[in-house]
């Protein structure tokens, strides 16, 4: 059995421990961005980031040498801020029987400490302790802590920041810390146009919603690429408190329509949110007579969805029935009509472009097929020509020198044959061959 060893180092940190823990669990690819001299790359080999059992790979530089470490995530404890990784392949396990590293953030006397523990097994006494690895980790952590203010503005492939993640998960302490560091983070949208407030409202975190609004009021009416506001997102969940918070913050949200012409009310009805519909209809400022692009009102949507409970609530508050709405045809403003025409032109242009590209691809395929057909015919002609030439050659040669079974000995000449005459010539199979 090898020699088991344990090394431990603790570093005081002033950054938020939740955010720091989140980096190594959910955003490890940011490490190489903030400490490029130590870590040069991160790759997910198997599973999902931040999930026990997932496998990852680190590329790093130790003492001027490029090294690699493939690890499996053994344990993760978000509450106690513990993360354990075990190397199953790499430069350390090439020389050591086992190697495991644990990150633990603890608080002692109101001071947060980043604790790194290395557990490994040496095959014999001649193999040195992993002091150089521990020093490497300590230096890397110091670099990360110095660069930590920049962490809040790093992005992933969807353009999400640390604030997006913390807000969506409802981590109010992390949200407050990030907003204190850089309040403009709240205005950064993801690729789909959704801000942190959209994500927070969608997940029903009231405290985070209030914290975001207290820092940046201008994001309240922000629309995503679907034209939806935070109220559109809030009605999709069973959180009446978030919906009330949205309406109280800005009553005009109740009248804003998305790109499909829907206010928040039809969306709530499609999701079957009865309590939220009741909360919305109580507000007299809500635009009940809004008609979406398919020509449907809130009541029409409820009736089509066969949601009798919601339909009854709407009728109770004086919303017109589907039959009566036929008499109240919508009037479009010049701006709306212009937008509709623009949308139609855009759709037609896209369709024509798609048709043109399809025709172009079909023509290319037809050219390829014709080329293949021509090549096939040429190959068939060449093959037939070769066969004909071979037959003609054999036949021509047979005229002068008939094949096989010649008799050179006068004593062995069969009756009816002369010396040098091929005995196979009169045979039926050979005559049939010549005929072909």
Please write the tens of the pLDDT for every residue from 285-299.
Answer: 665 556 666 666 666
Domain 3-151 has CATH 3.40.50.150: no
What is the pLDDT at residue 30? 80
Can you read off the two tokens belonging to residue 358?
Answer: 């399809």
For the chain, which residues make up each domain, given as ranges? Answer: 3-151, 162-335
Asked if residue 329 has pLDDT above 60, the reply is: no
Alpha-helix residue ranges (DSSP H) falling in 272-416: 274-281, 298-304, 308-316, 322-325, 334-400
pLDDT in tens, 155-164: 566 777 777 7
Looking at mean pLDDT, say which of 11-25, 153-167, 273-287, 303-317 comes out highest.
Answer: 11-25
Same fold, 3-151 and 162-335: no
pLDDT in tens, 210-251: 888 777 666 767 788 888 877 777 777 766 777 776 666 666
Q: What does the alpha-carbon distance between residue 416 and residue 407 come to, in Å, rounded to a whole number?
A: 12
Domain 162-335 has CATH 1.25.40.20: yes
Predicted confidence band of residue 70 (pLDDT cuts 50, 70, 90): very high
SS3 category, 210 = helix
The length of the chain, given as a count of residues = 436
Asked if residue 327 has pLDDT above 50, the reply is: no
Q: Which helix (H) or strand (E) holds 432?
A: helix 428-435
Predicted confidence band of residue 59 (pLDDT cuts 50, 70, 90): very high
Report which of residues 394 and 133 the model is more confident about. 133
């Amino acid at each position: 059995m090898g020699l088991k060893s344990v090394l431990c180092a603790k570093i005081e940190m002033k950054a938020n421990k939740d955010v720091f823990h989140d980096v190594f669990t959910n955003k490890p690819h940011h490490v190489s961005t903030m400490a490029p001299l130590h870590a040069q790359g991160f790759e997910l080999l198997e599973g999902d980031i931040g999930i026990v059992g997932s496998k990852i790979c680190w590329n790093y530089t130790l003492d001027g040498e490029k090294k690699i470490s493939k690890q499996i995530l053994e344990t993760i404890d978000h509450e106690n801020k513990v993360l354990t990784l075990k190397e199953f392949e790499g430069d350390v396990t090439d020389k050591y029987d086992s190697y495991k590293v644990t990150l633990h953030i603890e608080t002692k006397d109101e001071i947060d400490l980043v604790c790194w523990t290395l557990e490994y097994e040496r095959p014999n006494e001649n193999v040195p302790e992993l002091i150089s690895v521990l020093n490497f980790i300590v230096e890397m952590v110091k670099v990360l802590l110095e660069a930590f203010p920049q962490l809040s503005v790093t992005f992933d492939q969807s353009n999400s920041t640390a604030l997006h993640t913390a807000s969506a998960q409802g981590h109010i302490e992390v949200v407050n810390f990030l907003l204190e560091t850089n309040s403009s983070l709240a205005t950064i949208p993801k690729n789909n146009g959704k801000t942190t407030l959209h994500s927070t409202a969608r997940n029903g975190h009231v405290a985070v919603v209030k914290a975001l609004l207290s820092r940046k009021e201008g994001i309240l009416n922000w629309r995503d690429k679907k034209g939806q506001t935070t109220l559109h997102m809030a009605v999709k969940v069973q959180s009446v408190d978030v919906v009330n918070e949205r309406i109280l913050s800005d009553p005009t949200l109740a009248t804003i329509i998305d790109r499909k012409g829907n206010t928040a009310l039809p969306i709530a009805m499609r999701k079957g949110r009865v309590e939220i519909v009741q909360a919305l209809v109580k507000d007299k400022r809500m635009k009940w007579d809004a008609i979406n692009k398919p020509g449907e009102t809130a009541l029409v949507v409820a009736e089509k969805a066969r949601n009798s409970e919601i339909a009854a609530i709407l009728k109770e508050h004086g919303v017109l029935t589907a039959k009566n709405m036929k008499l109240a045809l919508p009037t479009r403003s010049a701006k709306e009509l212009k937008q509709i025409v623009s949308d139609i032109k855009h759709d037609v242009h896209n369709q024509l472009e798609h048709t043109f590209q399809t025709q172009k691809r079909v023509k290319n395929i037809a050219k390829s097929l014709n080329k293949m057909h021509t090549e096939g015919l040429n190959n068939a002609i060449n093959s037939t020509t070769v066969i004909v030439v071979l037959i003609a050659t054999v036949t021509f040669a047979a005229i002068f020198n008939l094949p096989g079974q010649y008799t050179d000995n006068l004593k062995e000449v069969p009756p009816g044959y002369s010396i040098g005459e091929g005995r196979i010539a009169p045979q039926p199979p050979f005559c049939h061959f010549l005929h072909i």
